[in-house]
Structure 1
Amino acid sequence: MYDCRGDVDRVPELLARVEREDDATAWDELGYRLVLEHDLVFPASFAALPRLVRLASRSARARALAGTILRRSAGNHGCDDLLAGCAGAIAAFREVLDRHLRSRPDDYFATFRDRLAVEEQYHWSAVLGDFSDDFYQVACPHCAAAVTIAIGDYGRYSAIRDWHLGDVDRRRLRPASPEDLSGVGRWMHETARRDGQAVLADGIAHLFGRAACPRCGSIFNIADEYAASNRPVMW
């Protein structure tokens, strides 16, 4: 169960340290041994996951590190058997995250993205913004025009982005009504509303709503087109 440096004994030592006490130095080293730059994870990452989950209800650093590992688990890590063996820990982590979300914590949005990863919604976990300054680029399914979708404090619109003029020919987005949502969009919206996250819930309604193409005027579902164009290939 090697880590990013090829070591097989260091991660268990570090886990034992953080289980005894909240050792910031040990947590820092665990972080870079289990999740390397460029989002790489290793056998030790999944081997450590059950112990991190057991700490997650009382340790923000354990919760964040476990979430980071799960968000990276869609990549080409070659550890699918180890990930499958973590099913029990992942189920327990789902409960930990749900309880934390219901408490409306300061790190709500980061926890929300980790919760999406638990449900294997890796794409939305990676790209979802907090709708303060969000832009999504999609191709119109009818005329293939490059359409910019803006959802933020400055407006909620579709537009054609011009290098010199900015977003031109803006069209107001058409948010989905709660009863029309389904699948992951419905879960995201209902969870945000349950927890009093009005801005997040409104942004999700717009993201899973419809937009008009400024070029040809056709109407399309934003989330469907964005996911079809940008969802990474699963290994």
Structure 2
Amino acid sequence: MHDCYGDVDRVPELLERVEREDDAEAWKELGYRLCLEGGLVFAASFAALPQLVRLASSDPRARALAGRILRRAAGHHGCDDLLADRAGTIAEVRVLLDLYLRSRPDDYLAAFLDLLAVNAQYHWSAALGDFTDDFYHLACPHCGAEVTIAIGDYERYSAIRDWNLGDVERRDLRPASPGKLSRTGRRMHDTAVRDGQQVLAAGIRCLLGRAECPRCASVFGIADEYMSAECPTSW
């Protein structure tokens, strides 16, 4: 079970160290070896999940590291069989993350994205922002115009981006009704509402709602077109 350096014995040693004592340097090295900054994970990453879950009740760093590993589980790591064997552990991570979100922590969005990944919503785990100043770019499905979708604190619109004039020909977005969200969308929205994350909930309604193309005036689903453009067909 190799880590990012190809070692097979270092991760078990580090896990033993952090279980015995509060060792900040060991946690830092574990993070490097199990989840590279560029998003790569390894066999040792998934092999370490059960012990990380056991440690999570007493050390939040274990929960955070487990979440980061699972957020990258859709990548090209060659460990799909090992990941499948961790189904029970992944279910435990889901419970841990849900309980953590209920506490309304300062790093709420990071844990929310981890939970999306645990639920196999890898695309939204990677694409979702905090909706304070987020932009999504897609093509109108009817006329092919490049449309910018803005979801921020002050403005939520579709527009044509002009590099000299900024976003022009703006049209207000049409947020989705909570009752009409898909199963995944409703879970995302209801979790944010439950935890008092009103900005996040409102942003999700906009992202899963509809937009008007400023060029041809057709109306389309934002999430459908964005996912169609961003997700490879092999997914």
Tell me the TM-score normalised to structure 1 length. 0.97
Tell me which amino acid in the other structure corresponds to 2:16: A
Find out whether 1:118 has 2:118 as its counterpart.
Answer: yes
SS of the residue 2:104 aligns to: coil
Q: Distance in 2 between matches of 1:53 and 1:2?
A: 20
- Paired residue for 2:144? 144
1:101 touches 1:195 (CA, 8 Å); kept in 2? yes
Q: Distance in 1 between matches of 2:179 and 2:129?
A: 23
Structure 1 stretches of at least 4 aligned residues deviating more than 4 Å after TM superposition: 232-235
Q: Distance in 1 between matches of 2:175 and 2:64?
A: 32
- Paired residue for 1:188? 188
Q: Percent identity?
A: 73
Tell me which amino acid in the other structure corresponds to 1:102: R
Tell me which amino acid in the other structure corresponds to 1:49: L
1:34 touches 1:42 (CA, 8 Å); kept in 2? yes
CA RMSD across the alignment: 1.1
Structure 2: runs of 5+ lacking an equivalent: none
How far is 1:163 from its partner?
0.7
What do the CA deviations read for 1:134-168 (whole angstroms, capped 9, x no partner)? 00011111011110000001300000000100000
How far is 1:57 from its partner?
2.7
- Paired residue for 1:207? 207
The 5 Å alignment of 1:35-184 reads 35-184=35-184
Tell me which amino acid in the other structure corresponds to 1:120: A
SS of the residue 1:116 aligns to: helix
Q: Distance in 2 between matches of 1:154 and 1:177?
A: 20
SS of the residue 1:138 aligns to: strand
SS of the residue 1:11 aligns to: helix
How far is 1:222 from its partner?
0.5
Q: Distance in 1 between matches of 2:46 and 2:167?
A: 44
SS of the residue 1:39 aligns to: coil
Tell me which amino acid in the other structure corresponds to 2:156: R
1:41 touches 1:69 (CA, 8 Å); kept in 2? yes
Shift in alpha-carbon separation, 1:233–1:24, aligned structure 2, 3 A: farther
Q: Distance in 1 between matches of 2:63 and 2:22?
A: 13
How far is 1:233 from its partner?
5.5
SS of the residue 1:141 aligns to: coil
1:49 touches 1:89 (CA, 8 Å); kept in 2? yes
Tell me the TM-score normalised to structure 2 length. 0.97
What do the CA deviations read for 1:185-225 (whole angstroms, capped 9, x no partner)? 11110110111111100010010000000011000010111
Q: Distance in 1 between matches of 2:118 and 2:200?
A: 19
SS of the residue 1:168 aligns to: strand
**Number of positions where the alignment pairs a residue of Structure 1 with one of Structure 2:** 235
How far is 1:183 from its partner?
2.1
Structure 1: runs of 5+ lacking an equivalent: none
SS of the residue 2:61 aligns to: helix
Q: Distance in 2 between matches of 1:234 and 1:74?
A: 12
1:75 touches 1:234 (CA, 8 Å); kept in 2? no
Tell me which amino acid in the other structure corresponds to 2:159: A
